[in-house]
Amino acid sequence: MTITIPNDPTGGPAAGNVRGLTARSLVLGYGTLAYLIFFVTFLYAIGFVSQYVVPKTIDSGQSASIGMAVLINLLLMSLFAVQHSGMARQGFKRLFTRFASPAIERSSYVLLASLTLLLLFWQWQPIPVGVWDIENPIAAGIVTAGGFFGWLVVLYSTLLISHFELFGLAQVVNHFAGRVAAPIEFKTPGLYRFVRHPIYLGFIIAFWCVPRMTVGHLLFAAVTTAYIFVGIYLEERDLVALFGQKYLRYRERVAMLVPGLF
């Protein structure tokens, strides 16, 4: 009779359990770190665009010539767009899960998107030439409040569709606990009954509702808004492939961004 010592490091069920627990713990730690970096990045994005609290904002810092600033900023935004859209495609996800655990696919996406955004914040070249400036304090306050309302719409909309799953934390927690994630369901809670993409709508409001608009901020708002429409096209193509007629019927009856308009 062969007896396997429970704490035998060379093999046996106990050693396998330890290795399994270690691997699941590493996945959980990785996903948690990715989420925390995302959350810090999100908070910094609010300060960066709204120009509150953070040390580097969209209109602060030294800049080169306008032409060079435009070029650098476009490259930074293009890098984010390629990463953000490329890694969201089903083909990339299938490729990723061939080499790594599916549990960390979403966390990796969130982490790289956050790091790309942090690079953009760090290297952004301000172009402080004014486009508009609302001098009336009441009107300026209303516009500023509108910008913060946009950020609240973004956050609230993520909570409506499982915030922690959207940003990868639920997947690593389920993996650690040994739970199998439930199949993705098509649901339209809250704001999703009125617009198909309230998260994108919130971003557009936040980017444009500012009392003082500069050329640099205008470049950022215009390019990101254009990218949002490209992102919507790509995302809806995937949603139609995933949910079929359910999503097509939803798209027919619910506006994309603004109820009654488009």
Global pTM value: 0.88
Percentage, residues of the chain above pLDDT 70: 93
45 part of a folded domain: yes
Count up the domains in the chain and report the number: 1
4 inside domain: no
Residues in the chain: 262
Do the domain assignments include residue 260? no
144-202 pLDDT per residue, tens: 999 999 999 999 999 998 899 999 999 999 999 988 777 778 889 999 999 999 999 99
The residue among 99, 93, 103, 101 whose CA lies nearest residue 174 is 103
CA distance 197 to 127: 30
Residue 18 lies in a domain: yes
Rounded to an integer, the average pLDDT of 24-30 is 94
Is the model's pLDDT at 104 over the cut of 80? yes
Gyration radius (Cα) of the chain, Å: 22
pLDDT attached to residue 12 = 52
Residue appearing with tokens 């952004």: 124
* pLDDT tens column, 194-221: 999 999 999 999 999 999 999 999 999 9
Question: Residues 6 or more apart from 24 whose CB is under 8 A from it?
Answer: 175, 176, 178
Helices 137-160, 198-208: crossing angle, 10 deg rounding? 160
For residues 216 and 221, give the distance between their C-alpha atoms in angstroms, rounded to a whole number. Answer: 9
- Whether residue 5 lies inside any domain: the answer is no
Instruction: For residue 229, give its domain range.
Output: 13-253
